[in-house]
A = this chain, B = another copy of it.
Amino acid sequence: MSDRSRKTIKDVAAAAGVSIGTASRALNRTGRVSEATVIRVTKAAQKLGYQPDAIAQSLRLKSTKVVGMLVTDLSNPFFAGVIRAAEKRLQQAGYALLVGNTDNEKARERFLIDLFQRRRVDGLIAGPCESEDAEMLEELDRGGLPVIGFDRDFGAGQSGLHVDHRRAAFEATRHLLNLGHERIALLSSSSTLSPGRERIAGYAAALEERGIALNNALIRAHKSSMEFVASEALSLMSLRPAPTAFLCLGTRMLAGTLQGLRQNGLSVPDDVSVLTVGDTDLARLYAPSISAVTWDLESVGQMLAELMLRRLEEGESESEPRRIMIPTQFIDRESCAPPGHRPET
């Protein structure tokens, strides 16, 4: 099966004693071909180990059967799980998935979109990015490249999927409020990306519902290393009055917070309650286990693929855009208790 001896449909046709046109029709079962030649051609193809050249097919059919996907970071488990599920579903439908990391940089996003276009992907799934480049993607979509947004702002005419981050943060905050907390610190890695913004909005809405004023001193929203988050957590704890609960938006925030609290001998939930939006092994298995808001990565990936496939298979029939909102679940574990559970030191 050396590269040189790669069999083409020409070889198959020759081996079966038919023209290449007939061979093609027999292999693809398109057009009128006698059953006898179908068998003959198929056998010849099998014997030769013929594999149709997807590149040539793409050129001819104007479809690569590839969809591109843009994420900020493929190694982030929240994306990895989604990618995995999306790839699986797309593969069932005969599509491959080409993934690109934007690293949350506008320039890289541009570069990748360009790359995907040159590679003639059939569609594009666009995850969150600092450059909420709605118009650009909308233009692509109108230009004939189906775009599905994922946790990202996009134009009115576009299809997409959102995890309900706002409600997630709302419910988490309300849970803390119900326990009696009023000074709830918020740690977020971003206030500009759609998920971050939505979560902060949900937090604010829950406070407002109780008539508690938003205290900006309690909010820390910027990307930072785990070590820095740890020191942020400590600096928050040194406020007077100190927060009685931490709402961590994302794994890194949770990890940093736990580290910071632990370094300072603060115990959860006795000294302070902790709650996270986005569930991970760490939250599940930490001692104490951390209450979390979670959602199903697999169904997110699957739905994304589904949205894309629908667009792809509808062809030109510009159907109305579909939007999907993925619900979240609150999981109560051991990390939350009423404030003042233990007298302050």
Contact = CB atoms under 8 A, between A and B. Distances in A.
Q: How many copies does the complex hold?
A: 2
Interface in A33-59: 51-56, 58-59
Nearest to A57: B118
A3 B145 contact: yes
Interface stretch (A69-77, A190-198, A237-245): A69-77
A144 B4 contact: yes
Interface in A78-107: 80-81, 83-84, 87-88, 91, 96-101
Nearest to A284: B255
A285 B101 CA distance: 27
Contacts of A96: 98, 115, 119
Interface stretch (A21-29, A135-143, A212-220, A322-330): A135-143
A175 interface: no
Nearest to A256: B285
Contacts of A140: 1
A72 to B, nearest CB: 11
Interface residues of A, number: 56
A248 to B, nearest CB: 12
Given A2-B142, A142-B2, A54 B282 contact: no
Interface of A: 1-4, 51-56, 58-59, 64, 73-77, 80-81, 83-84, 87-88, 91, 96-101, 114-115, 117-120, 139-140, 142-145, 251, 255, 258-259, 262, 280-282, 284-287, 297
Lowest 10 CB-CB distances: which A-B pairs, in order? A3-B144, A75-B80, A75-B84, A1-B143, A2-B143, A54-B118, A54-B119, A80-B80, A75-B81, A55-B58
